[in-house]
């Protein structure tokens, strides 16, 4: 058992809003038979908020309460977690971190379609331009478990799906 870790793997899918985390995360979890956890939905369901983020114009998560809420299920393994942030989760939770990247033009269109406009739209595009989430992931996790992958087209989505499924298969063989 590598590093004495007896549980199944946990996968984090992160990236700027609109890069495709929910689409990929829910498909991956179905394909490999893991539990899908959308952290935004968990926060909404249990009202785990702590104020308002003026920059991104969204509620601020109460991170400690989110961690408490998820600790038990995460310690069992076999979860795919979807969130547009990654540095407040316990590092030990994750065995692989996927950071989705989308080019600006494509992301702009997706976020506009979602109804984002003005400052909220601009701040999210800037977040992607400055690779904020990728840097956050590289700081918070071991570099060898952080994978930056493109998410511009359906073909790239399929490719990401295949690669993550293959990684889970390998994990199962080697553990
Ligand atoms: P996120 O969860 O990161 O906010 P979503 O999964 O909700 O992103 O995807 C945002 C939009 O982009 C959706 O309309 C989705 O269908 C589309 N989308 C996601 N990934 C891709 C991709 N690889 N290629 C084309 N469209 C995509």
Q: What is the pLDDT of residues 54-102, one digit of tens each?
A: 988 899 999 999 999 999 999 999 999 999 999 999 999 999 999 999 9
Q: Which residues of 129-157 are buried (b: 16+ CB within 10 A; e: fewer)?
A: eebbbbebbbebbeeeebeebbbbeeebb
Atom of ligand 1 nearest to the CA of 23: 6
Instruction: Give the chain's mean pLDDT.
Output: 96
DSSP H or E run through 137: helix 132-140
> Model-level pTM?
0.96
Give the distance (Å) from ligand 1 centre to CA of residue 4. Answer: 36
């Amino acid at each position: 058992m590598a590093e004495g870790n007896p549980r199944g793997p946990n996968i984090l899918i992160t990236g700027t809003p609109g890069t495709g985390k929910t689409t990929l995360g829910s498909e991956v979890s179905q394909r490999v038979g893991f539990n899908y956890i959308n952290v935004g939905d968990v926060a909404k369901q249990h009202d785990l908020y702590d104020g308002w983020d003026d920059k991104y114009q969204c509620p601020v998560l109460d991170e400690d309460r989110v961690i408490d809420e998820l600790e038990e299920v995460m310690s069992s393994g076999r979860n795919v977690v979807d969130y547009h942030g990654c540095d407040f989760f316990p590092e030990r939770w994750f065995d692989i971190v996927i950071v989705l990247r989308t080019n600006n033009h494509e992301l702009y269109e997706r976020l506009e379609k979602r109804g984002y406009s003005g400052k909220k739209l601009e701040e999210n595009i800037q977040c992607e331009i400055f690779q904020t989430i990728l840097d956050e992931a590289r700081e918070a996790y071991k570099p060898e478990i952080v994978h930056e992958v493109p998410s511009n087209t359906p073909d790239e989505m399929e490719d990401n799906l295949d690669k993550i499924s293959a990684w889970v298969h390998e994990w199962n063989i080697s553990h």
